[in-house]
Amino acid sequence: MTENNQQSCCSPERSSHEKNIHTSEQHFKKNDTFNKADMIFIPGGQFEMGDSFDEGFTQDGERPVREVEVSSFYIDPYAVTNKSFQAFVEDTNYITETEKFGWSFVFYQLVNIDKVELVAPAHQWWLPVKDAYWYQPEGRGSSIENRMDHPVIHVTWNDAIAYCKWAGKRLPTEAEWEYAARGGLIKKRYPWGNELTPNGEHRCNIWQGEFPIHNDKEDGYFSTAPVDAFLPNGYGLYNVSGNVWEWCADWFDAKYDYGIVKDPNGPKTGVARSMRGGSYLCHHSYCNRYRVAARSSNTPDSSSGNTGFRCVADAR
């Protein structure tokens, strides 16, 4: 593994292909009636945030490990599903930012290259596919019909924020995400412990085999899995590691502000938003970012077939 692998298997950036479009903010009546009984209460406390093994990429800023305090909050056990996102769109007629751009990045093995239209040349294994949206993730002719319980994908950070506003929720800070993802374990590598496949059992949806050529699918999934696949962590969260990247609220900076020890919420400004957890494309030979301390980022108008989100809510 080299430092040059950077974020290529993680998620590609839209701005390398196209300038930002103007997206006017849409206002929704806030839904205050969501049921906290469907969420998990995470009691506040202190934890050791960051990479205790010194095995992350230096440029990601996973270190040093520092003690961080997080206030109590509620978190969804699952990433937002296609079913939930559809309910949001039906209620608000929301048009995703991705639809306004007219395309999104799809992993090359998920489409028939002769049948889709590309808006730009391929970017490594990412194809900028015309009309690839949340409801037709591989472009025109595809559908989510048999994937309603899979995580919504092809949503930008701005789209995620719009959904959160509608749901009366918000995106987690990186500190909240990592605290919840650790499931109460201390300084472990994964949400379930230090071994990737304890007793040979797969605990998350990542890539097995030779990336990006051959995926053995030993974990059962080539692309996204249902949000409740695999065992949950100690707090009851599913698929924090793998499946899809999850947008966080914070601006990303490799120089995380280690000075704030209570409820840190990232830099004041930035160019990219934090993402956590890794996706079905992650493989140790390339990015190893399905560890619970791993960090990544993308510009808030970027979208891809392996990025979604999960919501939190204040306990107050």
- Specify the residue, 179 or 245, whose C-beta has the smaller distance to Cu ion: 245
In the region spanning residues 10 to 39, those forming contacts with Cu ion, defined by CB under 5 A, are 10
Pick what 277 binds: Ca ion, Cu ion, none; C-beta below 5 to 8 Å, kind-dependent: Ca ion
Contacts with Cu ion, 254-293, as mask; x by CB under 5 A: ----------------------------x----x-x----
Shortest approach of Ca ion to residue 102 CB, angstroms?
27
- Contact in structure between 192 and 252 (CB atoms under 8 Å): no
Rounded to whole angstroms, the Cα distance separating 277 from 292 reads 6
Shortest approach of Cu ion to residue 278 CB, angstroms?
5
Pairing type for strands 245-251 and 209-210 reads: unpaired
User: How many chain residues touch Cu ion (CB under 5 A)?
Assistant: 5
Contact footprint for Ca ion (CB under 5 A): 205, 219, 221, 239, 243, 277, 280
Rounded to whole angstroms, the Cα distance separating 131 from 119 reads 10
- Specify the residue, 158 or 205, whose C-beta has the smaller distance to Ca ion: 205
- Specify the residue, 98 or 306, whose C-beta has the smaller distance to Ca ion: 306
Q: Which stretch binds Cu ion (CB under 5 A): 3-11, 191-199, 228-236, 303-311?
A: 3-11
- Specify the residue, 84 or 224, whose C-beta has the smaller distance to Cu ion: 224
Shortest approach of Cu ion to residue 22 CB, angstroms?
31
Pick what 313 binds: Cu ion, Ca ion, none; C-beta below 5 to 8 Å, kind-dependent: none
Q: Which stretch binds Cu ion (CB under 5 A): 6-14, 28-36, 45-53, 233-241?
A: 6-14
- Specify the residue, 77 or 128, whose C-beta has the smaller distance to Ca ion: 77
Of 313, 311, 288, nearest in space to 55 by CA? 288
User: Given the rule CB under 5 A, which residues bind Cu ion?
Assistant: 9-10, 282, 287, 289
